[in-house]
Amino acid sequence: MPPVRTLDAVKIFGITFDYPRRWPLAIPPLLLIAFLAGLFVLATEGQSRLESANTRVQQSDLREQRLAEYQNLMIEAETAQRGYLITGDEQDLAPYHQAEQHADALLHALRLSYGDDATALDLLRQLRLATGKKLGELGMTVALATSQGGPAAMQLLRTGEGRRYMGQIRSILATLVAREAIERAAATARWRADLVLARWISGAGAVFNILLVMVAARLVLLDMRRRSRQAAELRTQKQVLEDQVAARTQELAALSTHLQEISEQEKYALSRELHDELGGLLVSARMDLSWIERKLGSQELTVMQRFKRIQESLSAGVNLKRRVVEELRPTLLDNMGLFSALRWQIKESCARTGLKYVEKYPEEELHLLPQAAIAIFRTVQEALTNIVKHAEATTVDMAVEIMDSELVIQIADDGKGLSPERLKSLGSHGLASMRHRIEALGGKFGIDNLSSGGALVSARLPLEKILDRDPARVEAAARG
Ligand SMILES: Nc1ncnc2c1ncn2[C@@H]1O[C@H](COP(=O)(O)OP(=O)(O)OP(=O)(O)O)[C@@H](O)[C@H]1O
Ligand SMILES: [Mg+2]
């Protein structure tokens, strides 16, 4: 028999694996959980990086918009100055006044939107200076035109100072716009790189997942194989044990049959000895005593009484011997056959206890094997003893019949019946030995409660196993 393996338990995260080689099964799910957690962290990180790139682009757009607005404001102020010089209409100066009012606020907003970008802040400082100069030049030209007339203002215009300041403003604004383009390009490049990284991560994740599923499938397959191997081993072990139990049971049954046979043989030998030897001794003692009595011819009362007492004791001894001989081996069984012995037995058992009985037998005696006859007789004897001992019955009904190729014996009583637990376990000796005797002859034994009350003992025996086919014995029995 293969050795039984001891089972160790391995505990992982509170899950008990009752067999050490099964713990690798926990690896794929654990890896999957770790992978999903990592993926979640990476996805959150990527999301926030994308959001920051988006914010950068939006802020850059806003700044560029403000720079364009600023440039527009200055161009319109300059155009207003020119218009006014040509038309002399005060209304044309409206954009110039607007620039004077809004330029500072716009610059302040720009400064805020650049945060702590030192280069941009420096450029904005320069822009503020150039703007101040330009607006000063514009204001001076307008004042000259108002006070001294157009030509004086044109004179100032021709110096080209205003154009230079405007040129500075344009160039600073262009530098700032160019920086925004670079900023946007950098943010977009970062965004693209993040996108590529995200794709790589999800691609690698998919491959990793597929690998995990394959590993898990393999582990499950191995586990299934191991389980079916174990199941096969267990089946084999169970079969071996069942075979051993069956062999032992057979051995014990054979031993029991053998012991029963030996016991019957010994009883038979003892009964013959008692019958022949003790019977002979007692009979000759009685004859000798009669002879002495006659020879003495004593008429003395006390002597005659003594002789009578000895005669009675010897008769009692003969009766006792006869009873013991019958108990050990019913002579009827060997001389007349099973049915006669059963008739005598039921009459004896019921007469002792005042039980009524009904009996039924086949018309002719069967020539049974000696061991079958005694086994059946002992079974019926025990059934009757049980009725007398336990049943509290008033009537016994015994039927012996030949049905098909079986001898069927049924003994029913109208007593209290067997308790349910008795019916379930027929482990006590009397019932067990009845069952054993009948089964050893290839028959079937049963005991059950009758619906009308009382118990029914039944035995069915195949005739071919119990009939005596030995011609010598059959002939001897026929001669009587
Ligand atoms: N005809 C019956 N009616 C009621 N109870 C019965 C009857 N036959 C057997 N029993 C019950 O079944 C039990 C088992 O019977 P069994 O012959 O095996 O043992 P036993 O008679 O108690 O002892 P043993 O026969 O070994 O001297 C009895 O103790 C009794 O309770
Ligand atoms: Mg009994």
261-287, pLDDT tens digit by residue? 999 999 999 999 999 999 999 999 999
pLDDT of residue 123: 94
Compute the average pLDDT of residues 384-407: 96
The response to whether residue 429 sits with its C-beta less than 6 Å from ligand 1 reads yes
Contacts of residue 122, defined as CB under 8 A and 6 or more positions apart, other chains included, come to none
- Taking only the tens place, the pLDDT of each residue in 423-471 is 766 667 899 999 999 999 999 999 999 999 999 999 999 999 999 988 7
Mutate to test the pocket of ligand 1, among 386, 416, 424 (most ligand atoms within 8 A of CB): 386
pLDDT of 6 > 50? The answer is: no
Which is the closest atom of ligand 1 to the Cα of 457?
1
Distance 448 CA to ligand 1 centre (A): 12
pLDDT of residue 13: 60
Integer Cα distance of 78 and 84 in angstroms: 10
The response to whether residue 411 sits with its C-beta less than 6 Å from ligand 1 reads no
Show the CA angle centred on residue 291, arms to residues 286 and 294, nearest 5°.
125
The percentage of the chain sitting over the pLDDT mark of 70, rounded to a whole number, equals 94
Distance 364 CA to ligand 2 centre (A): 30
The response to whether residue 422 sits with its C-beta less than 6 Å from ligand 1 reads yes
Mutate to test the pocket of ligand 1, among 389, 390, 425 (most ligand atoms within 8 A of CB): 390
Residue nearest to atom 11 of ligand 1 (CA): 418
pLDDT of residue 477: 67
pLDDT band at 2; cut points 50, 70, 90: very low
- Taking only the tens place, the pLDDT of each residue in 105-135 is 999 999 999 989 999 999 999 999 999 999 9
Residue nearest to atom 5 of ligand 1 (CA): 418
pLDDT band at 1; cut points 50, 70, 90: very low
pLDDT of 59 > 50? The answer is: yes
pLDDT of residue 4: 43
pLDDT of residue 11: 62
Q: CB-side exposure of 62: number of CA atoms within 13 Å? A: 13
Integer Cα distance of 210 and 32 in angstroms: 11
Report which of 105, 93, 96, 92 is spatially closest to residue 74, judged by C-alpha positions: 96
- Tell me if the pTM is above 0.85: no
Distance 403 CA to ligand 1 centre (A): 28
Q: 54-68, 97-111, 146-160, 394-408: lowest mean pLDDT where? A: 146-160
Which is the closest atom of ligand 1 to the Cα of 389?
21
pLDDT of 141 > 70? The answer is: yes
Distance 435 CA to ligand 2 centre (A): 12
pLDDT band at 9; cut points 50, 70, 90: low
- Taking only the tens place, the pLDDT of each residue in 169-208 is 999 999 999 999 999 999 889 888 888 888 888 888 889 8
pLDDT of 7 > 60? The answer is: no
Residue nearest to atom 28 of ligand 1 (CA): 390
Distance 423 CA to ligand 2 centre (A): 14
pLDDT of residue 442: 95
pLDDT of 64 > 80? The answer is: yes
Contact 223, 25 (CB under 8 A): yes
Residues shown for the chain:
480
Compute the average pLDDT of residues 55-82: 91
pLDDT band at 15; cut points 50, 70, 90: low
Compute the average pLDDT of residues 403-415: 96
pLDDT band at 22; cut points 50, 70, 90: low
Distance 423 CA to ligand 1 centre (A): 10
pLDDT of residue 154: 84
The response to whether residue 453 sits with its C-beta less than 6 Å from ligand 1 reads no
pLDDT of residue 425: 63
Mean pLDDT of the chain: 89
Mutate to test the pocket of ligand 1, among 388, 421, 428 (most ligand atoms within 8 A of CB): 428
pLDDT of residue 465: 94
pLDDT of residue 149: 81
Q: DSSP characters for 263-331?
A: HHHHHHHHHHHIIIIIHHHHHHHHHHHHHHHHHH----HHHHHHHHHHHHHHHHHHHHHHHHHHHHS-H
In Å, how far are 291, 295, 298, 301, 313 from 306, measured between CA atoms?
Answer: 15, 15, 11, 9, 11
- Written as six digits, the tokens of 470 are 């030995």
pLDDT of residue 356: 97
Comparison of pLDDT for 157 and 385, the residue scoring more: 385
Residue nearest to atom 23 of ligand 1 (CA): 430
pLDDT of 12 > 70? The answer is: no
With 0-12 CB in 10 A as exposed, 13-18 as middle and 19+ as buried, what is 30? exposed
